[in-house]
Amino acid sequence: MARASPPDLDASSLPLRALARSYPRGLYIEPHQHEWGQLLYAMSGIMWVETPGEALLVPPQRGVWLPAGVPHGIRVASELEMRNIYLRPQLAQSLADEVQVFEVQPLLRELILALVEQERQPDADYYTALTNLAVQALQRARRSQLRVPLPQGNDRRLLRLCQAVMAAPSLDISFEQHAQAVGASVRTLSRLLLRDLGMGFAEWRRQVQLASASAALIQGEPIGRIARELGYQPASFSDMFRRELGMAPSRYRDAAHI
């Protein structure tokens, strides 16, 4: 597992730090935390942000707000162009005190990009204005639901199962195959899933599939391709998506691009 070093935040006198980072597919940034609040935004590519108790799927047009002190790890699902905004504790207090996934609309996106650019050539007055606008845009951003519960217990087999399904959520890989790969029986993993997550394997995997499908729809991937990659026939996938989220995949995709 690779680890990315966080920036030296104390070296800056600015109210926030804005950095551009590129990460290859498969990179794992081990769990860590910051004294500053952090906004993660994927310009392109997809990442799973793992926080205590849940995993957040972050495709383009979505961001994650992490209050100061929240432990988090990152799994890069596809080649990633990330923009990070770190807010000093006093400034971060004006935002939510809980982890949130939100939509990045065009104005907020341009503010994030401008902050990254001004980090290199800071103009104090302009930078302060951008900072204030960005905070206001974050306060008003619509929340998203691309969240999947994760176990908080100490059983590494269950965590490895969850991470394997997040990496490959297709129906083509059975529960038995996953169990064999992590070295536990189906009965043991079923018991752990119910104890730690309050649901069975099929229900939990369906949440991962819905998050993965939603991210793919946001990126404009064809519905038929998404269905096949998850192990469904297109009609069965559309039925499942509509039953769980209350709308057809095509409607979800169109709403994401309004």
Q: Note down the domain range covering 34.
A: 9-140
List pLDDT tens digits, range 150-170.
Answer: 988 778 999 999 999 998 999
pLDDT at 10: 64
Confidence check: pLDDT of 5 > 80 = no
pLDDT at 246: 83
Assign residue 122 the CATH number of its domain. 2.60.120.280
Residues 136, 159 within the same domain: no
User: How many Cβ atoms are within 10 Å of 247's Cβ, its own excluded?
Assistant: 13
- The pLDDT confidence band at residue 87, using thresholds 50, 70 and 90, is very high
Domain final residue, candidates 140, 166, 189: 140
Find out whether 150 and 53 touch, Cβ atoms under 8 Å.
yes
Residue 126 has phi, psi (to 5 degrees) of -65, -40
Number of structural domains in the chain = 2
Alpha helices in the chain (DSSP H): 89-92, 106-120, 124-140, 156-167, 175-182, 186-197, 201-218, 223-229, 234-245, 249-256
Report the C-alpha gap between 111 and 130 in whole angstroms: 7
pLDDT at 139: 92
Tokens of 224: 């038929």
User: How many Cβ atoms are within 10 Å of 84's Cβ, its own excluded?
Assistant: 18
- The pLDDT confidence band at residue 9, using thresholds 50, 70 and 90, is low
Tokens 């504790």, residue?
Answer: 89
Domain final residue, candidates 107, 140, 173: 140
Residues 17, 103 within the same domain: yes
Residues 28, 99 within the same domain: yes
What percent of the chain has a predicted confidence (pLDDT) above 90?
55
Confidence check: pLDDT of 3 > 60 = no
Confidence check: pLDDT of 258 > 60 = no
List pLDDT tens digits, range 31-84.
Answer: 999 999 999 998 888 899 999 889 888 887 789 999 999 999 999 988 899 999
